[in-house]
Structure 1
Amino acid sequence: MNDQIRWKEVRLIGAEGEPLGVVAMADALQKAKDAALDLVEIAPTANPPVCRIMNFGKFIYQQKKKQQDSKKKQ
Protein backbone atom coordinates (compact mmCIF):
# COMPACT_ATOMS: atom_id res chain seq x y z
CA MET A 1 0.00 0.00 0.00
CA ASN A 2 1.23 3.49 -0.89
CA ASP A 3 5.01 3.80 -0.33
CA GLN A 4 5.39 0.07 0.39
CA ILE A 5 4.82 -0.77 -3.29
CA ARG A 6 8.21 -1.22 -4.97
CA TRP A 7 7.61 -1.23 -8.73
CA LYS A 8 8.87 1.22 -11.36
CA GLU A 9 5.50 1.27 -13.12
CA VAL A 10 2.05 -0.16 -12.51
CA ARG A 11 -1.25 -0.63 -14.31
CA LEU A 12 -3.50 1.86 -12.52
CA ILE A 13 -7.23 1.62 -11.85
CA GLY A 14 -8.98 4.78 -10.68
CA ALA A 15 -11.23 5.18 -7.66
CA GLU A 16 -14.36 4.64 -9.78
CA GLY A 17 -12.95 1.50 -11.42
CA GLU A 18 -11.86 3.20 -14.63
CA PRO A 19 -8.57 1.99 -16.16
CA LEU A 20 -5.93 4.72 -16.25
CA GLY A 21 -3.27 2.69 -18.08
CA VAL A 22 0.34 1.92 -17.24
CA VAL A 23 1.92 4.77 -15.28
CA ALA A 24 5.12 5.42 -13.36
CA MET A 25 4.93 4.60 -9.67
CA ALA A 26 5.55 8.24 -8.70
CA ASP A 27 2.62 9.36 -10.88
CA ALA A 28 0.34 6.70 -9.38
CA LEU A 29 1.22 7.77 -5.84
CA GLN A 30 0.65 11.43 -6.73
CA LYS A 31 -2.79 10.69 -8.21
CA ALA A 32 -3.75 8.79 -5.04
CA LYS A 33 -2.52 11.63 -2.82
CA ASP A 34 -4.35 14.23 -4.95
CA ALA A 35 -7.57 12.25 -4.44
CA ALA A 36 -6.83 11.88 -0.69
CA LEU A 37 -6.99 8.08 -1.11
CA ASP A 38 -4.61 5.12 -0.91
CA LEU A 39 -2.76 3.27 -3.65
CA VAL A 40 -3.37 -0.46 -3.10
CA GLU A 41 -1.67 -3.30 -4.97
CA ILE A 42 -4.39 -5.76 -6.01
CA ALA A 43 -2.59 -8.05 -8.50
CA PRO A 44 1.14 -8.24 -7.70
CA THR A 45 1.80 -11.17 -10.05
CA ALA A 46 0.44 -9.42 -13.15
CA ASN A 47 2.85 -7.81 -15.59
CA PRO A 48 2.88 -4.92 -14.84
CA PRO A 49 1.36 -5.22 -11.34
CA VAL A 50 -2.15 -3.82 -10.95
CA CYS A 51 -2.83 -1.10 -8.37
CA ARG A 52 -6.07 0.65 -7.51
CA ILE A 53 -6.78 4.02 -5.96
CA MET A 54 -9.18 3.44 -3.06
CA ASN A 55 -9.98 4.20 0.56
CA PHE A 56 -8.19 1.25 2.17
CA GLY A 57 -9.91 1.58 5.55
CA LYS A 58 -13.34 1.49 3.90
CA PHE A 59 -12.28 -1.50 1.77
CA ILE A 60 -11.22 -3.49 4.86
CA TYR A 61 -14.48 -2.60 6.62
CA GLN A 62 -16.54 -3.81 3.63
CA GLN A 63 -14.57 -7.07 3.44
CA LYS A 64 -15.17 -7.77 7.15
CA LYS A 65 -18.85 -6.96 6.79
CA LYS A 66 -19.20 -9.35 3.80
CA GLN A 67 -17.47 -12.05 5.82
CA GLN A 68 -19.82 -11.55 8.76
CA ASP A 69 -22.88 -11.59 6.49
CA SER A 70 -21.78 -14.84 4.86
CA LYS A 71 -21.33 -16.44 8.30
CA LYS A 72 -24.86 -15.38 9.28
CA LYS A 73 -26.34 -17.05 6.19
CA GLN A 74 -24.80 -20.43 7.03
Structure 2
Amino acid sequence: MVDDAILKNATETAWTVYRARHPEVGARDSRRCLLERHLHRTWEERESDTEELASFGIAYLHRLPRDEC
Protein backbone atom coordinates (compact mmCIF):
# COMPACT_ATOMS: atom_id res chain seq x y z
CA MET A 1 0.00 0.00 0.00
CA VAL A 2 1.25 3.45 -0.90
CA ASP A 3 1.95 5.87 1.93
CA ASP A 4 0.43 9.08 0.58
CA ALA A 5 2.64 11.37 2.67
CA ILE A 6 5.86 9.73 1.48
CA LEU A 7 4.73 9.73 -2.14
CA LYS A 8 3.54 13.35 -1.99
CA ASN A 9 6.73 14.59 -0.33
CA ALA A 10 8.96 12.67 -2.73
CA THR A 11 7.04 14.03 -5.72
CA GLU A 12 7.22 17.61 -4.46
CA THR A 13 10.92 17.32 -3.71
CA ALA A 14 11.81 15.79 -7.07
CA TRP A 15 9.66 18.29 -8.99
CA THR A 16 11.07 21.28 -7.10
CA VAL A 17 14.67 20.18 -7.67
CA TYR A 18 14.02 19.47 -11.35
CA ARG A 19 12.33 22.83 -11.95
CA ALA A 20 15.13 24.65 -10.12
CA ARG A 21 17.58 23.19 -12.63
CA HIS A 22 15.21 23.70 -15.57
CA PRO A 23 13.45 27.07 -15.10
CA GLU A 24 11.90 26.81 -18.57
CA VAL A 25 9.66 23.99 -17.32
CA GLY A 26 6.26 25.23 -16.18
CA ALA A 27 4.58 24.20 -12.94
CA ARG A 28 1.84 22.35 -14.83
CA ASP A 29 4.12 20.62 -17.32
CA SER A 30 3.08 17.10 -18.36
CA ARG A 31 6.29 15.72 -16.85
CA ARG A 32 4.74 16.24 -13.42
CA CYS A 33 2.06 13.66 -14.16
CA LEU A 34 4.63 11.26 -15.58
CA LEU A 35 6.71 11.72 -12.43
CA GLU A 36 3.75 10.98 -10.17
CA ARG A 37 2.95 7.76 -12.06
CA HIS A 38 6.58 6.68 -12.07
CA LEU A 39 7.01 7.23 -8.33
CA HIS A 40 3.76 5.44 -7.58
CA ARG A 41 4.93 2.37 -9.56
CA THR A 42 8.38 2.56 -7.99
CA TRP A 43 6.87 2.67 -4.50
CA GLU A 44 4.70 -0.36 -5.24
CA GLU A 45 7.71 -2.33 -6.52
CA ARG A 46 10.09 -1.28 -3.78
CA GLU A 47 9.09 0.55 -0.64
CA SER A 48 11.44 3.47 -0.13
CA ASP A 49 11.71 6.45 2.14
CA THR A 50 10.99 9.96 0.90
CA GLU A 51 14.60 10.83 0.09
CA GLU A 52 15.29 7.66 -1.89
CA LEU A 53 12.01 7.95 -3.79
CA ALA A 54 12.73 11.61 -4.60
CA SER A 55 16.16 10.70 -5.97
CA PHE A 56 14.55 8.05 -8.19
CA GLY A 57 12.14 10.74 -9.39
CA ILE A 58 14.88 13.24 -10.20
CA ALA A 59 16.80 10.60 -12.15
CA TYR A 60 13.62 9.66 -14.03
CA LEU A 61 12.90 13.27 -14.99
CA HIS A 62 16.43 13.71 -16.34
CA ARG A 63 16.01 10.63 -18.54
CA LEU A 64 12.80 11.89 -20.16
CA PRO A 65 13.22 13.11 -23.74
CA ARG A 66 12.43 16.82 -23.82
CA ASP A 67 10.63 16.66 -27.16
CA GLU A 68 8.09 14.06 -25.96
CA CYS A 69 6.80 16.01 -22.98
- Greater C-alpha Rg: 1
**Which structure's relative contact order is higher, taking Cα pairs within 8 Å and 6+ residues apart?**
2
**Range class of TM-score, shorter chain:** under 0.3
**Structure showing the higher strand proportion among its residues:** 1
**TM-score, reference length from structure 2:** 0.25
**TM-score, reference length from structure 1:** 0.25
